[in-house]
Structure 1
């Protein structure tokens, strides 16, 4: 649906411009490891897709203010006093002050002890002891005085297309259901509900010590807690789940302990428990360019993320999650030539057709709103290196090479051998003409180098020698054609433009730390591809990416620069940059994809797994260096 926001879509909004859309960084993230929710500062659930991350939204106010919302907060008060996660959890607590009192609202997507098999989102991986209940539970406690509590639930199914039709339960005046033929929602509360058009609404004055609750369910009817006491117990159980899970992670006692813990919770929260896949972000179409067209659907799994995911999980000692993710990679279906796609659905599906929802206004006028991602059909030659580096990393940690992974090693090494001399779309999925991107060829080198090491582990010395020889051919080609006259790695063979993806040369050991070309590349990106100390992917006026408009600095690239500075021995600069990056985290410790340095705001899909994965690696390199200095 097009709202008044659409009339301003052609003008780039400023950070201070009045807007009905909250800043991206002001959203809180909830997860039950099947789906996730974003809660605005005013207490409204503005984004929720059920039953899974990539399902159509039922609350979509994030992308259009008329596309569905669910508020549980004080009446006529939009700005809370404080919002914070319960320490060590993805459970949100919001404290409100009104003229007459104080209120505490607690929100959780519930996880608890597993009972019967999950029929809502069936598992392909062995179920854990705890699983999603497919419930959003919200409780309220009046702390002092009296507060008028309001509940407004107005789902609009299928990304804002189908308004809800509510049916009250005649036997239970505080229970109602709504559906669109494919999905049914049920709400239960201890407030007296009334139907107003396509929404249900309730109001009650709470006095000091009074409690209230509401539960939204997309599970079977018997899963809904019958009273506030059980609703409260479910939140406590969810709190216990997250804290127990986090206790199993290896987080060093360091000044960066909290951002590392929050990043771990984000990565776990973006993991789809039924298959072990990880979504790149919770959302679709949050803009990289304010009011612009750089809007993508990130609710899928990218193969390029595999190495960074495995690095982070193993570094944090999260071996179960690492194993689950590796098995997901082993299960996905290759293409006709034996290669893996650059991305898959979280259920492993290959086809992710892209469409637009032109009736939606888009976040703050940024259009189009995209569902699906056409990049699944692109050729990106970096995928082979990402997959094989992750298999080597996992093999070293598990101390064995699983039999079912060896055929993947062979097929991906063979594919990299065939295509490394061909142009592709590059790691950033440019929609311009294919080019000989340096980072793509670099990752093909990674593919053959890691495949050779895996062959050595397997005892196949002849195959190892063959793959190692190809790796050296790729290295020689990059150094002959991918280095500019001043000794800096290029974006691609046809330009001297810089690209932050060449920092992968440091992260994957393509050149030794003391190589002058590596140091000069890191220095050039730090000095020439940065804005106010944060790193761009590339200069949009120097790159044919098929899109218009400027974009913000990329947070993953900025964290990559921290890691690269650490690799070349610039520890002081690495620490300083890390502190700058930690200082721009959202109020709840979350990161989007980009940061607009001029306006000081987060841009792009949120929260972004890649940003948090790169944070973990950057912090880990610095912490390891500090620990080694203590020996």
Structure 2
């Protein structure tokens, strides 16, 4: 395909109507065990139960025949307004029909804990509130009359096995699946009927009248028996989110709302039973429209640990920080003592990747991947990410937990052993291993932070040895990783740019006034951007083992904001931050990438990394503004 053909195809993709809603139009629900995506037409197009990384029961996000659950006005697909209840992950959708107005409220229920959770058992101490393993949807007619419709059509195992239903003999308001796993139980005050593989209900609501439906994958006793109880469960979930958010430290600043929404996203992507955080809710949403850059992000990356801990501590979410750190302490190391680059949310190591070629993929993007083949890659940045997070947590908790010290030793020793070797880099390139500058940089971070931790522990011998190795790595990077024009390279064999070198600023590799840092930041800002947003790298300059072009990476754009602020260019940082805030989804969410030319979000959604980077970028600017006032 020529460049002209590719451009024409991209233009067609953005103008020809698609049966798939734009990624940014989805709403995100969470009960901190799993999450759902709700399309503008009121259909739940993505839900995996009982956990984030379980097979989907509603998978229309990836194939229009892979399961859906709609609750809304009959024959009306476009709502008037969709908003979160302030301070929550509870969605409200307002509909105008030809005869009236309808308000639908959706929530994955969190409420007071009732005994041990046998659906998704906890390895962390259970909190006072926990998931009820229940999706509740309520409707109220605000004015006139509205014909309400419910269609529930799950397809188990990523669209492989259509559900078979049976109405309860003693209660026609209940339908239950009789095949597949897990067992699903649907209850509603709408008259229910089974039509093949779906349950359907219709009813005319008049002003002031209410209706509800619930879907459960847990103990039947938790299912609300009537509309008032369903409404009460949503109110309890609202209270949970608002109480939780009240404990976060959100500054009184003009960016308060995006900070709050980002905090709610990060909490919503946290798997409460273990404390792990998934990188995103979804799998296989394309980075290249119609292309093959489709990955499963429903796992926990060790690379994200530092950014997660930074955000949690900055927001004063100490409980979540402790839970996440304990998850890191629990995971099993590889045979050489290193940590994998990613783990399952239950700590499992094997994330073998397979493809589902029977699924169409989002808007034709194939393959659909389950699992992630990068789990056993060598990425030398992992050591620095883990040790930087341990140091950060140690400083905040004012103690170095005994169970974390062996991890410090093992990761420092691993970094010492491998820092001179090539790897796949932070972006998990599937091309040939290279001496990536960001990987060397993170090995420097590993030894630098390990030396500090050894000093805190009083181990002067290790502190000196690790500090000496850190200086060797720094010298090697400055000798081989800087181009003739004084800019940090992507890897030692190229002068190509890579946004990951911005980590040199964020981790204090050189003083903020160092000319090489300034040159690197400026080069990325002017040469590695499209329409003002930052690319990871240019795909025509990098052997990443994949075809096609990708959009600008939102985390890299937020990293540039942080780097500009850290190097004293506060006005430019503020201007760029304002631009990034304008491209949030209508509900304040971010995917992984942004196609600046077409104005659309790309990649898995919502993306934790994007929201974590937003929090750090905003925090750096807010802190700089406050310091100016002193």
> TM (normalized to structure 1)?
0.98
Task: Tell me how far apart the structure 2 counterparts of residues 181 and 258 of structure 1 sit (CA, whole Å).
Answer: 41
Counterpart CA distance in 1 for 2:169 and 2:143 is 35
Query: Matched residues in 2 for 1:18 and 1:372: separation?
Result: 31
The aligned counterpart of 2:205 is 206
Matching of residues 595-614 of structure 1 within 5 Å: 595-614=594-613
Structure 1 segment 389-468 matched on structure 2, within 5 A: 389-468=388-467
Partner of 2:582: 583
Q: What is the aligned partner in structure 2 of residue 356 from structure 1?
A: 355
**In the TM superposition, what are the counterparts of 1:31-110 in structure 2 within 5 Å?**
31-110=30-109
Deviations 1:444-468 (A, max 9, x none): 0000000000001011111101100
Residues 391-419 of structure 1, C-alpha deviations (whole Å, 9 max, x = no match): 00000000000000000000000000000
Provide, for residues 91-122 of structure 1, a one-character-per-residue CA deviation record: whole Å limited to 9, x for no partner: 00000000000000000000000011000000
Cα drift, residue 14 of structure 1 = 2.1
Report if the CA contact (8 A) 1:157-1:180 is conserved.
no
The equivalences for 1:282-297 within 5 A come to 282-297=281-296
**Structure 2 residue matching 1:503: 3-state secondary structure:** helix
Cα-to-partner distance string for 1:272-310 (whole Å, 9 max, x where unaligned): 000000000000000000000000000000000000000
Paired residue secondary structure (1:187): strand
Aligned to 1:240: 239
CA 333–590 in structure 1, closer or farther in 2 if over 3 Å, else same: same
Task: Determine the C-alpha separation between the residues in 2 that align with 1:131 and 1:181.
Answer: 25
CA–CA separation in structure 2 for the residues paired with 1:253 and 1:263: 15
Is the 2:51–2:120 Cα contact (8 Å) retained in structure 1? Answer: yes
Counterpart Cα distance in 2 of 1:220 and 1:444: 48
User: CA–CA distance in 1 between the matches of 2:294 and 2:54?
Assistant: 18
How much does 1:11 deviate? Answer: 5.4
Post-superposition shift, 1:17?
Answer: 1.6
Q: The residue matched to 2:230 in structure 1 has which SS?
A: helix
Question: For 1:540, what is the secondary structure of its paired residue?
Answer: coil
Find the counterpart in structure 1 of residue 270 from structure 2: 271
Give the match for residue 3 of structure 1.
none
Report the secondary structure of 1:311's partner residue: helix
1:105–1:140 Cα contact (<8 Å) kept: yes
SS at match of 1:202: strand
Residues of 2 paired with 1:174 and 1:400: CA distance?
55
Matches within 5 A, 1:92-491: 92-491=91-490
Q: CA deviation at 1:170?
A: 1.5
Where do 5+ consecutive residues of structure 2 fail to align?
A: 1-5
User: Which residue does 2:522 correspond to in 1?
Assistant: 523
Report the CA distance between 1:181 and its aligned residue. Answer: 3.9
| Count of aligned residue pairs for this structure pair | 623
Shift of the alpha carbon at 1:182? 2.8
Which portions of structure 1, spanning 4 or more consecutive aligned residues, are displaced by more than 3 angstroms? 10-13
Query: In structure 2, what is the equivalent of residue 545 of structure 1?
Result: 544
Instruction: Provide the rounded CA distance (Å) in 2 between the counterparts of 1:19 and 1:30.
Output: 24
Deviation at 1:16, TM superposition (A): 2.0
SS at match of 2:47: strand
Structure 1 unaligned spans of 5+ = 1-7
Residue correspondence of structure 1 range 611-630 to structure 2 within 5 A: 611-630=610-629
Contact 2:31/2:131 (<8 A) preserved: yes
Cα offset for 1:183? Answer: 1.1
CA-to-aligned-CA distance 1:224-247 (integer Å, 9 cap, x gap): 111111100000000000000000
Instruction: Give SS of 2:184's match.
Output: strand
Q: How far apart, CA to CA, are the structure 2 residues paired with 1:305 and 1:46?
A: 27
SS at match of 1:542: coil
Q: CA deviation at 1:610?
A: 0.1
Compared with structure 1, are the counterparts of its residues 354 and 11 closer, same or farther at alpha carbon in structure 2 (3 Å cutoff)? farther
Q: Deviation of residue 174 (structure 1)?
A: 1.2
- State the alpha-carbon separation in 2 of the partners of residues 179 and 444 from structure 1: 53
Contact 1:14–1:599, Cα closer than 8 Å, also in 2? no
Task: Kindly state the Cα deviation for residue 15 of structure 1 after the two structures are TM-superposed.
Answer: 1.6
- Name the stretch that deviates more: 165-174 or 256-265: 165-174
What is the CA deviation profile of residues 546-601 of structure 1, one whole-angstrom value per residue up to 9, with x for unaligned ones? Answer: 00000000000000000000011000000000000000000000000000001000
In 2 relative to 1, CA 573–407 (structure 1 residues): closer, same or farther, beyond 3 Å? same
Give the whole-Å Cα distance in 2 for the aligned partners of 1:476 and 1:178. 63
Shift of 1:180: 3.2
8 Å CA contact 1:535–1:558 kept in 2: the answer is yes
TM-score (norm 2): 0.98
Contact 2:161 2:180 in 1 (8 A): no
CA contact (8 A) 1:111 1:238 kept: yes
**TM-superposed deviation, 1:340:** 0.2
User: Residue by residue, what CA displacement relative to the aligned partner does 1:529-550 show, whole Å, maximum 9, x if unpaired?
Assistant: 0001100000000000000000
- Give me the whole-angstrom Cα distance separating, in 1, the residues matched to 2:177 and 2:547: 41
CA separation in 2, counterparts of 1:202 and 1:138? 14
Deviation per CA, 1:237-262, whole angstroms, max 9, x where unpaired? Answer: 00000000000000000000000000
> Equivalent residue for 1:4?
none
Tell me the residue number matched to 1:571: 570
Task: Work out whether residues 11 and 291 of structure 1, in 8 Å CA contact, stay in contact via their aligned partners in 2.
Answer: no
Cα separation, 2, equivalents of 1:544 and 1:567: 31
Distance 1:198 1:484, change over 3 A: same
SS across alignment from 1:184? coil
Structure 2 CA distance for aligned equivalents of residues 242 and 181 of structure 1: 32
8 Å contact from structure 2 (residues 286, 362) kept in 1: yes
Match of 1:70, SS state, is: strand
Using the TM superposition, name which of 550-559 and 177-186 deviates more: 177-186
